[in-house]
Amino acid sequence: MLFSATSSILIVFFIIAFMLSEGWSAINLDFIFGLIWHPKTNEFGILPIIVSTVIVGVGAVFIALVIGIPCAIFLAEFAPNWVRNIIKPSVEMLVGVPSIVLGFFGLMLIVPFIRDNLGGRGECILAGWIILSIMTLPHVISISEDAIRAVPNSYREASLTLGATKWQTVRNITLPNAKSGILASLILGMGNAVGETMAVYMVIGNPNIPWIPTSILDSVRVLTSTIVMEYGYVAWGSQHQHALFAIGVVLFVLVAIINLMARYAIKRGMIER
Amino acid sequence: MQRNTIIAMVIVAIVIVAISLIALQFARPVGGELKIAGSTTVLPITQECARLYMEKVCPCTRISVSGGGSGTGIQLVGDGLIDIGAASRDLKPSELDQWPDLQPVAIGKDSVAIIVHPSNPIDDLTLEQIAQIFAGDITNWSNVGGEDAPINLITREEGSGTRGIFEEKVMESFGKEIAGEALVKTSNGEVRAIVATDDNSMAYLSLGYVDGTLKAISIGGIEATIENVLSEDYPIIRTLWLITKGTPNTLAQSFIDFVLSDEGQQVVEELGYTKVE
Amino acid sequence: MNEQRKERIVKAFLWVTGLTSVFILLSIIVYIYVNGVGIISLEFLTSYPYRFEYGGIFPQIVGSLLLVAICLLFATPIGIGSGIYLAEYASDNILTKTIRFFVETLAGIPSIIIGLFGLAFFVHYLFGFSLLSGGLALGFMILPWTVRVSEEAIRAVPNSYREASLTLGATKWQTMWNVVLRSATPSIITGILLGLGKAIGETAIILLTAGSGLEAFLPISIFDAVGSLPVYIFMLATQGHTSAAFDRAFGASLVLVTMFLIINLGALLLRNYLVRRQR
């Protein structure tokens, strides 16, 4: 028992140690703040890649918020029981739908649509936002709905007795109380979006030398797609290989920060209650 | 209740085991395994030859063929992770330094075509224009006689043999680098898939991959055809290699022999490449 | 009056957004099914692929199943063991806190990093591109999942069960095996099914560790390269440019989504059954 329990520690320790030992030598200020990623000339600057990663992640979660939170409120507060009994399970079924299928969907429909109607290359930040928001939507809806329903009924009843309408109750009582749960669902969704690989890789373009994007129709590289694109031909032991593992380390740190924020949000919510 | 759950568990276990066993029944007896990876230019040849080899020569072998690019293939065979690496460019001195015992065998010749969408009115460009376009100096089709539309460049990843040859024969003669805006695709197939759907795109592609869904433009009036490649009128020509580490084992040798046989070389020609002399 | 009107508007807005988001999600599934159903036939499901975009997807289906089987063989025992330790044996000391922290950390590691680690460690140093490398790397991915559900499931077993068993003279181990584990099993299976749903659609890890996805044969040993549905879909979707390739990509997606939905539906039904039993 103890052995299997400690194996998780070992595995994590092993992965982190391995990534660090391979990537550490490439991490320095030029790496983090460099503007040019061009392995051919041994230039490894990932600032444009980090910025793109954050833009893609934040934008996707924002879309998921705009569509998902009203949906969660609808399910938790307004939907008749029979509607909820159909929709909630079907949304939950879609949590974790294979992302490769979403990428395929994006490649077949969304990329050509953007190229033909909005201009640009089609493979761009916007396409990444759409695919990732579809991916995070079920998470956001399902967790937020749980958070809203977890608000004690007595709160609602008190408000309704005082003559407030249902929407006033939701806005002034229920939502503020469910705030931290909703926030946590969004942050977790962002962690997923930032760490997602294949679906993003298929729709964001990956330019030869990435730049800091100036338009949502720009093609970008994110941390994960750079790894997937270049792991194959990298010469083991070269500066390039260390730089790729260093990207892995940066990605790991980024996702860890996001997850810590989510945990903090959840904890704060529990204290408030 | 508890009994039910145990039964459920047992059923799940049995199903998994049964599927594995059924799978193994379908499998053929062991006769050795061969792993081939690398250049996506060579991929159609190795794939088809592997299929024919397993069908006709030795049904008991299992040959796994995958892409990854020339750099990947050389990398993997050098590290001993695969049996045969495929490359569509010559070995670099740095690679020979790292793995001095790599043994390349030429299995065919290929060229690199400059391709555009079939609806594009442009049929011919000079080598210099091509270099300027790929360097990002020319960014609009109207500058080379086409419609007023941006040129959407597509390039291969740096490990690619196709990119290596293209840079060597086109870009470097004019001292230029491929533009940063070009989108990177990691296989010939991906390049073709994008160019076939994007009206304004331009890319370079292994001649073997050129088909009716896109248009290969001529360079300085010389069309990208096998005849022009053979007579060396067309400026880009390259050799396709299968690479082993040290002397190949029996199975690898037998497979390479098959690719070099009349039957294998016929596959090379059918797929749009040129056979070796 | 004004408030009531506002109420109605908000209500209408929420109905619309609620139904829209569900519509978006379902439309993807429908899109895959509508486009993929045409190619599904017994032959497609049971024959081997050739020339990249022709033939069937039998080795890919079997490969995916074998990969998740190896993944479960690795992650389930360790997960349940950890769960038992965390829930039953360990008091709240530094060790358990560390374990929990590391389990949470592992859950947060993006799959591409596990894939990169698998590529460097399993593939380069140990087994090459193989069923075993892929299965183990997948196992790493769902391990935190199995640990968490096992711990929660075992904690949820009422203490009265344990006490009753111990009073009857059973040892701690017997109690554990006969009473606690047995009543926690359904919830553990639910959790593991959900983990399985994650594993079967995972692409990045398998792409980096198991093989190219184009393998036209079945693996005989666990050291063979193995094809899988997600990687095959990836290859077809990005590199295919003919209708033959897209048809097959849709067909393979349909099979993958169906497997995923069956697994998740199983988990859902099992959970509903559990909830009903508790009442």
pLDDT score at A15: 87
- Distance in angstroms (rounded) separating the CA atoms of residues A69 and A73: 6
Q: Quick one: tokens of B174?
A: 């004019």
Average pLDDT (B155-169) is 89
| Residue burial C30-42, b: 16+ Cβ < 10 Å; e: rest | ebbeebbeebbee
Write down the pTM of the prediction: 0.87
Instruction: Identify the band that residue B1 occupies on the pLDDT scale cut at 50, 70 and 90.
Output: very low
Question: Residue C204: which of A2, A74, A228 has the nearest Cβ?
Answer: A228
Residues 6+ away with beta carbon under 8 Å from C41: none
Do the Cβ atoms of C58 and C43 come closer than 8 Å?
no
Neighbour subunits, C (≥3 Cβ pairs < 8 A) = A, B
Structural domain including C119 reads 49-278
Q: Look at A162-171, B42-51, B54-63 and tell me which has the smallest mean pLDDT.
A: B54-63
How far is residue C99's CA from residue A4's CA, in Å, rounded to a whole number?
Answer: 10
CA distance A77 to A94: 21
Q: Which of C9, C13, C19, C25 to mutate to test the interface with A (most CBs of A within 10 A)?
A: C25
3-state per-residue secondary structure call for A192-254: HHHHCCHHHHHHCECECCCCCCCCCCCCECCHHHHHHHHCCCCCCCCHHHHHHHHHHHHHHHH
A229 with A206: CB under 8 angstroms? yes
- List chain A pLDDT tens, one digit each, 273 residues: 667 777 778 888 888 888 888 888 888 888 989 899 988 888 899 999 999 999 999 999 999 998 889 999 999 888 888 888 888 888 888 888 899 999 999 998 999 999 989 888 889 999 999 999 999 999 899 989 988 988 888 888 888 888 888 888 888 888 888 888 888 888 888 988 999 999 999 999 899 999 899 999 999 999 999 999 888 788 777 889 899 999 999 999 999 899 888 888 888 777 665
Residues of chain B with Cβ-Cβ distance to C235 below 8 Å are 189
Cross-sheet strand order for the sheet of B238-245: B62-68, B33-38, B84-87, B238-245, B102-110
Q: Please give the average per-residue pLDDT across B232-236, as a whole number.
A: 84
B/e letters for C246-257, b = 16+ CB within 10 Å, e = fewer, are bbbbbbbbbbbb
Question: Reduced to 3 states, what is the DSSP secondary structure of residue A43?
Answer: strand
Question: Please, what is the average pLDDT of chain C?
Answer: 85
Distance separating alpha carbons of residues C120 and C55, to the nearest angstrom: 33
Write out the DSSP string of B203-214: EEEEGGG--TTS
| The CATH number of the domain covering residues in B111-237 | 3.40.190.10
Task: Report CB contact under 8 Å: A232, B71.
Answer: yes
Indicate the average pLDDT of chain B: 85
Instruction: Output the six-digit token pair for B48.
Output: 């088809």
Give me the pLDDT at residue C171, please.
81
| Residues in A touching C241 (Cβ below 8 Å) | none
Does B26 score more than 60 pLDDT? no
Q: What's the sign of the alpha-carbon dihedral B96, B98, B102, B106?
A: negative
Q: Say yes or no for a CB contact (<8 Å) between B159 and A232.
A: yes
Q: Quick: pLDDT tens for B65-93.
A: 888 888 889 988 988 888 999 999 889 88
Q: Is the pLDDT at B134 greater than 90, yes or no?
A: yes
Q: Does C23 touch chain A (CB under 8 A)?
A: no
Spatial separation of the C-alpha atoms in residues B86 and C63, rounded to whole Å: 25
Tens digits of residue pLDDT in C183-212: 888 888 888 888 888 899 899 999 888 877
List the Cα angle B85/B89/B91 in 5-degree steps: 70
Contacts with C249 from chain A: Cβ below 8 Å: 104
In a domain, C44, yes or no: no
- Are the beta carbons of C82 and A101 separated by less than 8 Å? no
Burial B34-48 (b: 16+ CB within 10 A, else e): bbbbbbbbbbbbbbb
Chain C closest CA to A136's CA: distance in Å? 11
E strand spans, chain C: 49-50, 54-55
3-class state of residue B125 by DSSP: strand
Q: A116 by DSSP, 3-state: which?
A: helix
Does residue C272 sit within a domain? yes
Output the CA–CA distances (angstroms, integers) from residue C277 to B117, B270, C40, C182, in the order listed. Answer: 62, 65, 39, 15
DSSP C187-255: HHHHHHHHHHHHHHH--HHHHHHT--S---S--SSTTS----HHHHHHHHHHH--SHHHHHHHHHHHHH
* Separation in Å, CA of C217 to nearest CA in chain A: 23
Give the CATH number of the domain where residue A147 resides.
1.10.3720.10
Helix (H) or strand (E) holding C13: helix C2-36
Q: C125-167: per-residue pLDDT in tens?
A: 888 888 899 999 999 999 888 888 888 888 888 888 888 888 8
Among candidate residues B70, B189, B166, the one with its CA nearest the CA of residue B113 = B166
Strand partners, B124: B218
Tell which of B64, B185, B271 to mutate to test the C interface (max C CBs under 10 Å). B64
User: CATH top-level class for B30-108+240-270?
Assistant: alpha beta
Residue B130 has pLDDT above 90, yes or no: yes
DSSP per position, B47-64: HHHHHHIIIII-TT-EEE
Q: Helical H runs in chain A?
A: 2-23, 29-33, 47-73, 81-93, 99-105, 111-117, 125-149, 153-161, 166-169, 175-195, 198-203, 223-230, 239-272
Of residues B1, B51, B81, nearest to C50 (C-beta): B51
Model pLDDT, residue A273 = 57
Amino acid symbol at A35:
L
C16, part of any domain: no
Nearest to B183 among A112, A206, A211 (CB): A206
CB contact under 8 A, A202 and C238: yes
Q: Which of A41, A233, A234, A239 to mutate against chain B (most B CBs within 10 Å)?
A: A233
Supply the ipTM of this predicted assembly: 0.88
- Quote the tokens at residue C209: 């560790």
Q: Show residues of chain C in contact with A73, CB under 8 Å.
A: 14
For chain A, say whether C248 makes contact (Cβ under 8 Å).
no
Residues 34-53 of C with CB under 8 A from B: 50-52
What is the per-residue pLDDT across A69-86, written as a single tens digit (0 to 9) for each? 999 999 988 888 888 888
As for how many domains chain A has, the answer is 1
Distance separating alpha carbons of residues C246 and C237, to the nearest angstrom: 7
Residue C69 falls within a domain, yes or no? yes
Start-end of CATH 3.40.190.10 domains in chain B: 30-108+240-270, 111-237
Say whether A71 and C22 touch across the interface (CB within 8 A): yes
pLDDT at position B266 over 60: yes
Amino acid at A148: I
The count of residues in chain A is 273
Residue with the bigger pLDDT between C90 and A8: it is: A8
Render pLDDT for C100-118 as a digit per residue (tens, 0 to 9): 888 888 888 899 999 988 9
Tell me the nearest-neighbour CA distance from A152 into chain C, angstroms.
20
Tally the domains of chain C. 1
Do the bridges between strand B62-68 and strand B33-38 make them parallel or antiparallel, or are there none, so unpaired?
A: parallel
What pLDDT is recorded for position B119?
Answer: 92
Percentage, residues of chain C above pLDDT 70 = 98
Shortest Cα distance, chain C CAs vs residue B25, angstroms = 10
C62 contacts on B by Cβ (under 8 Å): 19, 23, 26
Q: Identify the closest residue of chain C to B189 by CA–CA distance.
A: C239
CA gap C195, C200 in Å, rounded: 9
The CATH number for C267's domain is 1.10.3720.10
Closest CA in chain A for residue B155: A208
- How sure is the predictor about B30, in pLDDT bands with cuts at 50, 70 and 90? low
Quote the CA–CA distance of C279 and C274 in Å, as a whole number: 9
Residue carrying structure tokens 């790991």: A252
Q: Specify the DSSP class assigned to residue C92.
A: S
Q: A70 vs C246: CB contact, 8 Å cut-off?
A: no
Mean pLDDT check: name the lowest of A154-168, C230-244, C264-278: C264-278
Q: How far apart are CA C36 and CA C26, in angstroms?
A: 15
Quick check: B275 pLDDT over 50? yes
Verify whether the Cβ–Cβ distance A71 to C21 is below 8 Å: yes
Buried b (16+ CB within 10 A) or exposed e, B144-169: bebeeeebbbbbbbbbbbbbbbbbeb
Return d(Cα B112, Cα A217) in angstroms, integer.
Answer: 30
- Using CB atoms, pick whichever of A15, A93, A105 lies closest to residue C109: A15
Q: pLDDT class for B29, splitting at 50, 70, 90? A: very low
Residue type, B276: V
Q: What is the pLDDT of residue B28?
A: 45
Contacts of C72 in chain B (CB under 8 A): 16
Q: Are B114 and B123 in contact (CB under 8 A)?
A: no
Chain A: nearest CA to C267, how far in angstroms? 9
Distance CA C163, CA C170 (A): 10
Q: Is residue C8 part of a domain?
A: no
Closest partner residue to B81 (CB to CB) among C129, C238, C242 is: C129
> Exposed, middle or buried, C91 (CB in 10 Å: 0-12/13-18/19+)?
exposed
3-state secondary structure of B184: strand
State yes or no: pLDDT of B60 exceeds 80: no
Nearest to C239 among B1, B27, B189 (CB): B189
